[in-house]
């Protein structure tokens, strides 16, 4: 009898082991699933980043076909980085560089240029320079705004971690555009920020570079993560260039990349966007 009781106890023990093993297996499966989730999320995020990068570069390359590629180099002087943007908009790479060289040769420093008249700056640029009078006025206003903000023209000491916020506040107190300030910081400090205003971002959406539902505040960080510094500078330049062209033509909304370059047949009058 004792033997049979012992046997029945063993059977009971074996039966009780089954739920315990099942419980352990379930916990192990959950642990594996939990461990896989971050990995899957990371893979999905990387795939998403590649998709964003591909779309951005399609938009950039399409615009570069029209406006050309330019050599990208660091400009350590913050004011020169701002001036370069005024001179290069709408002008060829060579003519804008030559114009900057003439201005730097003519004036002792930025303060010397600041006190010059618009007419003097215009003469140095040359009558054949793209929108010469407008460029001279823009340069004069830029230098005046910088002097009003800082009461001096030597401001490279602000190119530090502490001084960046002071420079970034310039659009709040002057007529200097925020995207110009950000681009100057990329050129002078290699700061990882995407220079873009709402008009340029609308164009980027129109060209398929970013999703339709995206907005600048939420998507700017994603663009900065997707592109390297060269990509940021390439894309921001051609976006600004194309916005400049269609706004000069009196258009308020983004236009196709080939806008204004040729007459289209009635079949082609539907707006052309970049092919996915």
The structural domains of the chain, with segments of one domain joined by +, span: 73-170, 192-255
Closest by CA position to 187, among listed 91, 104, 267, 79: 79
Longest distance between any two alpha carbons in the chain, whole Å: 120
Is 254 in contact with 186 (CB distance < 8 Å)?
no
Is 132 in contact with 126 (CB distance < 8 Å)?
yes
Q: How far apart are CA 84 and CA 95, in angstroms?
A: 11
Structure tokens belonging to residue 230: 């060269």
Closest by CA position to 77, among listed 113, 115, 117, 43: 113
Q: How far apart are CA 232 and CA 229, in angstroms?
A: 5
pTM here is: 0.77
Query: In 3-state terms, what secondary structure has residue 262?
Result: coil
| Domain 73-170 fold | Endonuclease III; domain 1 (1.10.340)
Q: How far apart are CA 135 and CA 141, in angstroms?
A: 10
pLDDT by position in tens, the chain (length 276)? 444 444 445 555 555 566 676 676 666 666 666 555 455 434 434 545 678 899 999 999 999 999 999 998 899 999 999 999 999 999 999 999 999 999 999 999 999 999 999 999 999 999 999 999 999 999 999 999 999 999 999 999 999 888 898 999 999 989 999 999 999 999 999 999 999 999 999 999 999 999 989 999 889 999 999 999 999 999 999 999 999 999 999 999 999 988 876 544 433 443 444 444
**Which residues, 6+ apart, have CB-to-CB distance to 188 below 8 Å?**
74, 75, 76, 77, 78, 81, 159
């Amino acid at each position: 009898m004792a033997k049979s009781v012992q046997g029945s106890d063993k059977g009971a023990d074996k039966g009780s082991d089954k739920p315990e093993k099942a419980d352990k297996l379930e916990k192990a499966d959950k642990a594996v699933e939990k461990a896989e989730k971050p990995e899957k999320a990371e893979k999905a995020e990387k795939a998403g980043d590649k998709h964003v990068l591909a779309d951005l570069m399609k938009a950039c390359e399409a615009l570069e076909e029209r406006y050309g590629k330019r050599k990208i180099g660091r400009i350590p002087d913050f004011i020169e980085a701002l001036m370069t943007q005024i001179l290069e908009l709408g002008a060829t790479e060579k003519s804008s560089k030559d114009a900057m060289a003439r201005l730097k040769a003519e004036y002792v420093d930025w303060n010397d240029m600041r006190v010059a008249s618009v007419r003097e700056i215009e003469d140095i640029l040359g009558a054949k320079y793209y929108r010469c009078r407008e460029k001279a006025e823009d340069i004069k206003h830029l230098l005046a705004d910088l002097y009003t903000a800082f009461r001096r023209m030597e401001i490279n000491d602000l190119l530090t971690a502490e001084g960046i916020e002071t420079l970034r506040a310039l659009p709040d107190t002057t007529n200097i555009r925020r995207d110009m300030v950000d681009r100057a910081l990329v050129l002078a400090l290699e700061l990882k920020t995407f220079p873009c205003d709402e008009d340029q971002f609308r164009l980027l959406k129109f060209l398929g570079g970013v999703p339709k539902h995206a907005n600048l505040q939420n998507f700017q960080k994603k663009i900065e993560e997707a592109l390297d510094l060269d990509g940021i500078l390439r894309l921001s330049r051609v976006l600004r260039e194309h916005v400049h062209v269609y706004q000069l033509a009196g258009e308020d909304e983004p236009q196709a990349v080939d806008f204004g370059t040729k007459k289209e047949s009635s079949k082609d009058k539907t707006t052309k966007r970049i092919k996915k």
